[in-house]
């Protein structure tokens, strides 16, 4: 296992039968490749179909034992990066006993930064998961993120009994404003020390109705996914950027629809939202009328206008986060939801160090592949002679999902495992599974792989691969339940 910062948990005893049934179902050969609604059927088909064009197409080898493999002498760039960076356990507080996984990395240094440090913070318990991303150039952004996470964790009793989103939103915003006022008072006493410091926030809380309450502030997000390839961002970071916040303040319906517009289309659509303003008016005259019509928003409108001059400024404007501790801490009603988390679903709470590297679909696929990679590793730990491929243990432990697929043909491995493993000896010679173990294996594998692939993209190791974005260097933190 790599030296990434990892917080694992031991499962409690309420889901033993569920976990056992999951793994028994996973290993039923009769269901293999025949029913796509089964876990193993969808897993195998995802190998065969979902990622064609993203991962390399392996040779069609009849017997896995005959796969040729030559030891690699050079160190993988991601593993080399990981080996040179120490564990960051001080950036995670965990007292969780349910299946969960969390990682934090210093990430790749941005060019021109004065000090490179991890400003993220994760706080995770059985009742809440909180991820904060320190923002700004202030020396204390890391402390603000830590303090915000700790203070928000105390919301649990207040939010547990919330019956609807409106009630929860009111309680969250009152509590956040109280916390933020303390930060502001500290800044007033020592403006130099706290100057330009702040933090984003993404949180998941348990609710009395068995559901989860999620909310975000800034560009950290909560994403729901499963092993069937379904991915959904539950919140929109766009609403907390300069443009999104301006559009929402102006009363424009569904402002998120502007998020993918080009510069020219954005300006054109904005003008269509105000038909009373003469269509022949110049852009400057248009904004002058807006300012006179909404005098209370004049400063915000002018700030947005400043980034609507050309394509280059427009791109920068889309990245400006205007919400977070030390600033505006009003959670948008679009960024607070009460959701039903099904047994086969996972909630991923992340900083933009992840979402800036991959599309949502790719996040789902990486999580899926990482989960299967970890399942295979666990199988082989109890069944070391199951697959006779030289160096397979070290490959699974260190190589990326893309490199593994090049070397080993993952589809054939998962098929062989399902057909050969005796369920009674999956993780040991006695008990099939302790409660929650299968879910923990999935969480650890998927979460770690997302961190490693985010680093790989930052190191420019994923250029040309489908689903990866232009590298943006940053810290990386994520927690999954």
Q: What DSSP line would sit under 7-51, residue for residue?
A: E-----SS-HHHHHHHHHHHT-GGGTTT-TTSHHHHHHHIIIIIT
Q: For position 78, what pLDDT does the model report?
A: 81
Stretch (H or E) spanning 376: helix 360-382
All structural domains of the chain: 1-241+343-481 (3.60.40.10), 248-318 (no CATH)
What contacts 6, CB < 8 A, 6 or more positions away?
101, 102, 103, 444, 448
Distances (CA, A) of 462 to 144, 338, 411: 33, 35, 22
Stretch (H or E) spanning 212: strand 212-217
Q: Closest Cα to residue 417, out of 380, 369, 371, 449?
A: 380
Taking residue 107's Cβ as centre, other Cβ atoms within 10 Å add up to 24
pLDDT per residue as tens, the chain (481 positions): 333 444 433 333 333 334 334 433 443 433 333 344 444 444 444 444 433 433 333 333 334 444 444 443 445 788 788 777 765 778 999 998 988 999 999 998 887 677 788 899 999 999 999 999 998 766 788 999 999 999 999 999 999 999 999 999 999 999 999 999 999 998 888 887 777 788 999 999 999 888 999 999 999 999 999 877 789 999 988 989 999 999 999 999 989 899 889 988 999 999 999 999 998 889 999 999 999 999 999 999 999 999 998 888 998 888 888 888 888 899 998 899 999 998 778 999 999 999 999 999 999 988 888 887 787 777 777 666 655 555 566 666 655 666 665 555 555 565 555 554 444 344 443 333 344 577 888 899 899 999 999 999 999 988 888 889 999 999 999 999 9
Q: For position 408, what pLDDT does the model report?
A: 56
Q: For position 192, what pLDDT does the model report?
A: 79
Q: Considering the entire predicted model, what is its pTM?
A: 0.78
Q: What does the block give as tokens for 271? A: 């003008």
Distances (CA, A) of 278 to 108, 265, 282, 284: 48, 18, 9, 12
Measure the CA–CA gap between 78 and 57, rounded to whole angstroms.
Answer: 22
Q: For position 411, what pLDDT does the model report?
A: 54
Compute CA 166 distance to the chain's CA centroid, rounded to the nearest angstrom. 26
């Amino acid at each position: 296992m790599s030296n990434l910062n990892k917080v694992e948990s031991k499962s409690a005893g309420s889901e033993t039968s569920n976990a056992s049934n999951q793994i028994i179902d996973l290993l039923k050969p009769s269901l293999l490749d025949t029913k796509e609604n089964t876990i193993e059927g969808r897993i195998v088909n995802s190998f065969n179909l979902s990622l064609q064009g993203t991962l390399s197409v392996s040779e069609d080898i009849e017997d896995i034992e005959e796969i040729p493999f030559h030891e690699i002498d050079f160190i993988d760039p991601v593993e080399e990066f990981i080996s040179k960076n120490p564990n960051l356990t001080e950036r995670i507080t965990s007292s969780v006993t349910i299946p969960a996984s969390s990682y934090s990395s210093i990430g790749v240094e941005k060019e021109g930064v004065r000090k490179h440090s991890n400003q993220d913070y994760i706080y995770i318990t059985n009742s809440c998961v909180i991820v904060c991303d320190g923002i700004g150039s202030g020396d204390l952004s890391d402390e603000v993120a830590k303090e915000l996470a700790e203070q928000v964790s105390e919301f649990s009793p207040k939010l547990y009994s919330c019956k609807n989103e409106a009630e929860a939103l009111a309680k969250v915003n009152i509590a956040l404003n109280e916390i933020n006022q303390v930060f502001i008072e500290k800044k007033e006493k020592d403006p130099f020390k706290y100057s330009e410091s702040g933090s984003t926030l993404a949180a998941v809380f348990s609710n009395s109705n068995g559901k989860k309450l999620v909310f975000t502030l800034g560009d950290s997000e909560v994403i729901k996914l499963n092993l069937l390839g379904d991915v959904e961002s539950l919140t929109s970071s766009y609403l907390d950027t300069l443009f999104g916040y301006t559009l929402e303040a102006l009363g424009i319906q569904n402002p998120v629809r502007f998020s993918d517009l080009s510069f020219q289309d954005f300006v054109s659509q904005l003008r269509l939202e105000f038909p009373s303003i003469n269509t022949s008016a110049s852009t400057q005259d248009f904004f002058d009328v807006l300012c006179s019509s909404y005098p209370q928003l004049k400063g915000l409108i002018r700030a947005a206008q400043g980034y609507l001059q050309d394509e280059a400024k427009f791109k920068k404007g889309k990245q400006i986060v205007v919400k977070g501790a030390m600033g505006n801490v009003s959670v948008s009603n679009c960024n607070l939801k009460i959701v039903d988390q099904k047994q086969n679903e996972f909630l991923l709470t992340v900083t933009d160090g992840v979402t800036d590297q991959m599309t949502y679909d790719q996040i789902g696929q990486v999580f899926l592949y990482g989960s299967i990679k970890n399942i295979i590793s666990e199988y082989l730990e109890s069944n070391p002679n199951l697959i006779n491929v030289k160096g397979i243990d070290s490959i699974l432990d260190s190589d990326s999902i893309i490199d593994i697929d090049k070397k080993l043909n993952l589809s054939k491995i998962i098929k062989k495992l399902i057909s050969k493993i005796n369920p009674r000896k999956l993780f040991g010679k006695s008990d099939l599974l302790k409660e929650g173990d299968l879910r923990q294996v999935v969480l650890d594998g998927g979460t770690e792989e997302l961190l490693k692939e985010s680093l790989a993209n930052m190191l420019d190791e994923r250029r040309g691969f489908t689903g990866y974005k232009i590298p943006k260097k940053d810290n990386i933190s994520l927690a999954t339940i």
